[in-house]
Amino acid sequence: MARRAPESDPAQDAPEVGAPQHAAAGIPAVVQSLRTAGAQMSARRTLATLRRVNQPDGFDCPGCAWPEPDRPHVAEFCENGAKAVAEEATERRIGREFFAAHPLSELAGRSGYWLGQQGRLTEPLLLDEGTDHYVPISWDRAFGIVAEELGALGSADEAAFYTSGRTGNEAAFVYQLLARRLGTNNLPDCSNMCHESSGSALVETLGVGKGSVRLKDLHQADLIIVAGQNPGTNHPRMLSALERAKRAGARIVSVNPLPEAGLERFKNPQTPRGLVGGGTRLNDLFLQIRLGGDLALFRALNLLLLEAEDENPGTVLDRDFIAEHCLGFEEWAEDARSTSWDAVLAATGLPERQIRELATLVLGSRRVIVCWAMGLTQHKHSVPTIREVVNFLLLRGNVGRPGAGVCPVRGHSNVQGDRTMGIFERPAEAFLDALGREFGFEPPRHHGYDTVDTIRAMRDGRVKVFFAMGGNFVAASPDTLATEAAMRRCRLTVHVSTKLNRSHVVTGVRALILPTLGRTDLDRTTKGRQFVTVEDSMGMVHASRGALRPPSAQLLSEVAIVCRLARRVLGPQDEVPWEDFAESYDAIRDRIARVVPGFEDFNERVRTPGGFALPHGPRDSRTFPTATGKANFTVNALTAPEVPPGRLLLQTLRSHDQYNTTVYGLDDRYRGIRDGRRVVLVNPDDARELGLDDGAYADLVSEWSDGVERRAAHFRVVHYPTARGCAAAYYPETNVLVPLDSTADTSNTPTSKSVVVRFEADSGQD
């Protein structure tokens, strides 16, 4: 049976449940920000640090990828940004005494929460073959071990180089260069589990795998549809943008199985109105959709638009735009007309009247934006779902003009930039051509492994060295037990990290932890103070400068780690000036400027306050760099998850007190949950049918065609107003339930928002 160390300690995990809230932020958020920071550092350090978040001369918040406004507020951060900052800027440290006192066998039984709370890592560590303790080693020896293990491989493709989206552009660029000079495109990243479905759908339909709106477009929109996203928790600063749009007259519609507080009402802590008043009501319409019902919803909306055009020809569709810029409309329309309302209503669980109400809002809005996040990307049919969203926007020419467009809201603060820098297992030929030209070599052309394929390859012994630039691969990946077993088969696992996490205690035969500087830390080399750059969710590139004294003199920046490792692995004859790169990030940026389109004069332009915008053909000039040279309508068969009787569909999502696998605390304030994370939210009617009382404990068992039993034990049932047939529980506790082979078509993203589960009698705590 599935048994593993929990993310939170069972002894502490005693959830208390109150009523969900109906407004986000306000004074409690301010109090919470200061309290979290205060638990990790002195008042002086708190103030000095928080003052610099998201300011032009400060550092980019290591939280989410939401952009900064042109004129940031003096406190341009949110409660959850403050938690992310405090987590990194903490004054707690762990060094050799800690690892001497705690053998691996003990650490492997600790919760992820406990591991993260111990403090910042201070020196490189080795866990050698057959030993039970991490011991300090020199950087030289650490790089020597990586070189030795890479050298022993039959081919470079037996190594995989993972990236989590916090890594800055400069480190990402040299990191992918190292992998490709070794000869592999095995560059899996967190994006494979995140917005890969968005990228796949947008590249095919619009030609650019990124959002097409800027912050000012949100402010100008008439209608903003927020589907499958919980900004109150995960992108709190987005609420300020929604509030501004709303005050300018926009309508906001949320599409979600859960009534998320942040989308109901926002009390902006930066305004008196928000602090003492009732705040601003945000959504005009809430469609409580079933999990995975969005494809059906957008098909239905599109059908209604076609019918409205039939009734009043020439008034609904943007015929000129479609004729000039799009392909595939006729074929698409023919299929769209066959949409069955029965199928739509079954898939969405919505009353037809509500869908018609939304269609009326759409018809009354000239400028429409659709925002989305993991609720749309982590299903089997995510790519067709997002393609259908694109169809919806194309119909009325809502791409490439002010106040309109696609807005996939990215997760990690630089996940979009990392991809721009070439962190991708399936790089474009043009990128490889430019890279090869710049550095005088022939990069590997065959595609590499993404995250799921890396796990399969480790499991099957085809990948033997796993290197991670940040992140927490073991806890973030699906099918925890399978992933852990795969990691353990490696010869060597290496983690560049700021703090201890689960992935450091589930190791290969040998393991290294390489401690690094974070966003908040001062980064100084012999060439002076360095800064890094990041790209936000809307394609703005800007500088990020840390200022805190690093937790230990031994830490190296991510850039320095990659460059010193590269020299060691590739040898003294390698022509890339790795030493120059390690000392001067300008030298790296000069190369990026020559390899990556849009980064011309990078060093100059990034020094202007606020940075610069990357070009985006569809947004800037309605040019669509797709295979056809046009924006493509696509035919997407109406599908929805099938759930056998007596089962529920489970989504795995974030609480208000976590950053992905980093657990800050045990509360989920807006949802009324306190002091515990092992909860499962179930609609009261479903619960009654299944005989699940509120407060009862049960095991969740997922059902998948391979017959393997995947169980997450001991979850408290919470009766909660989620859509019928749909349950919700937190990630990463429930990753054990997500089958490795259950992935989205085309993007291969794990289906973390559609897991078929049954409930069984509680088998006790993990």
Interface residue list for ligand MGD (CB under 6 A): 63-64, 80, 164, 166, 190, 193-194, 227-230, 233-235, 255-258, 260, 289, 291-292, 294, 373-375, 411-412, 469-473, 476, 496-499, 501, 516, 518-519, 558, 651-654, 658-662, 731, 734-735, 738, 752-753
Q: Parallel, antiparallel, or unpaired for β 540-544 and 532-535? A: antiparallel
Determine the interface stretch with Mo ion among 333-341, 410-418, 630-638, 663-671 (rule: CB under 5 A): 410-418
Token pair of 658 as six digits: 């976590």
550 binds Mo ion (CB under 5 A): no
Strand partners, 225: 253, 370
476 binds Mo ion (CB under 5 A): no
Question: Least distance from C-beta 681 to ligand MGD, angstroms?
Answer: 9
Alpha-carbon distance of 139 to 672, in angstroms, equals 47
Please, which residue, 623 or 743, has the CB nearer to Mo ion?
743
Please, which residue, 623 or 734, has the CB nearer to ligand MGD?
734
Phi, psi of 758 (to 5 degrees): -115, 160
228 binds Mo ion (CB under 5 A): no
The torsion region of residue 491 among left (phi > 0), alpha (psi -120 to 50) and beta comes to alpha
472 binds, among Mo ion, ligand MGD, none (CB under 5 to 8 A by kind): ligand MGD
Please, which residue, 248 or 522, has the CB nearer to ligand MGD?
522
Alpha-carbon distance of 74 to 240, in angstroms, equals 14
Question: Least distance from C-beta 471 to ligand MGD, angstroms?
Answer: 3
* Other beta carbons within 10 Å of 51: 14
Strand partners, 191: none
Please, which residue, 117 or 451, has the CB nearer to Mo ion?
451
Question: Least distance from C-beta 613 to Mo ion, angstroms?
Answer: 23
* Other beta carbons within 10 Å of 607: 13
233 binds, among ligand MGD, Mo ion, none (CB under 5 to 8 A by kind): ligand MGD
Please, which residue, 67 or 471, has the CB nearer to ligand MGD?
471
Question: Least distance from C-beta 197 to ligand MGD, angstroms?
Answer: 11
Task: Return the H-helix or E-strand segment holding 355.
Answer: helix 352-363
450 binds, among ligand MGD, Mo ion, none (CB under 5 to 8 A by kind): none
Please, which residue, 66 or 624, has the CB nearer to ligand MGD?
66
124 binds Mo ion (CB under 5 A): no
Please, which residue, 202 or 250, has the CB nearer to Mo ion?
202
Please, which residue, 122 or 623, has the CB nearer to ligand MGD?
122
Question: Least distance from C-beta 410 to Mo ion, angstroms?
Answer: 7
Question: Least distance from C-beta 271 to ligand MGD, angstroms?
Answer: 22
Alpha-carbon distance of 299 to 395, in angstroms, equals 12
Phi, psi of 185 (to 5 degrees): -105, 20
Question: Least distance from C-beta 470 to Mo ion, angstroms?
Answer: 13
DSSP string, 65-79: -PPPPSS--TT---H
Question: Least distance from C-beta 621 to ligand MGD, angstroms?
Answer: 29
Question: Least distance from C-beta 661 to Mo ion, angstroms?
Answer: 11
231 binds Mo ion (CB under 5 A): no
* Single-letter amino acid code for the residue at 219: H
Strand partners, 127: 511
Alpha-carbon distance of 124 to 135, in angstroms, equals 8
Over the Cα atoms of the chain, what is R_g? 25
Alpha-carbon distance of 260 to 230, in angstroms, equals 6
744 binds, among ligand MGD, Mo ion, none (CB under 5 to 8 A by kind): none
Determine the interface stretch with Mo ion among 24-32, 348-356, 408-416, 548-556 (rule: CB under 5 A): 408-416
Q: Do residues 710 and 479 make contact, with C-beta atoms less than 8 angstroms apart? A: yes
Token pair of 648 as six digits: 């529920």
Please, which residue, 198 or 634, has the CB nearer to Mo ion?
198
Residues 388-411 as b/e (b if ≥16 CB within 10 A, e otherwise) read bbbbbbbbbbbbbbebbbbbbbbb
Please, which residue, 300 or 326, has the CB nearer to ligand MGD?
300
Residues 713-747 as b/e (b if ≥16 CB within 10 A, e otherwise) read bbbbbbbbebbebbbbbbbbbbbbbbbbebbbebb
752 binds, among Mo ion, ligand MGD, none (CB under 5 to 8 A by kind): ligand MGD
Chosen residue from 194, 252, 399, 738 binding Mo ion by CB under 5 A = 194
Task: Tell me the C-alpha to C-alpha distance, in Å, between residue 613 and each of 66, 540, 599, 623.
Answer: 14, 4, 10, 17
Please, which residue, 327 or 547, has the CB nearer to ligand MGD?
547
* Single-letter amino acid code for the residue at 325: H
Chosen residue from 209, 349, 411, 508 binding Mo ion by CB under 5 A = 411
Please, which residue, 194 or 253, has the CB nearer to Mo ion?
194
Question: Least distance from C-beta 608 to ligand MGD, angstroms?
Answer: 25
Q: Do residues 208 and 617 make contact, with C-beta atoms less than 8 angstroms apart? A: yes
54 binds, among ligand MGD, Mo ion, none (CB under 5 to 8 A by kind): none
Please, which residue, 213 or 514, has the CB nearer to ligand MGD?
514
Report residue 552 CA to chain centroid gap.
29
Question: Least distance from C-beta 294 to ligand MGD, angstroms?
Answer: 5
Strand partners, 512: 126, 494
Question: Least distance from C-beta 118 to ligand MGD, angstroms?
Answer: 11
Ranges of H-type helices in 51-158: 79-89, 96-101, 104-107, 112-117, 139-151
498 binds, among Mo ion, ligand MGD, none (CB under 5 to 8 A by kind): ligand MGD
Question: Least distance from C-beta 331 to ligand MGD, angstroms?
Answer: 27
| 464 SS3 class | coil
Residues binding Mo ion (CB under 5 A): 194, 411
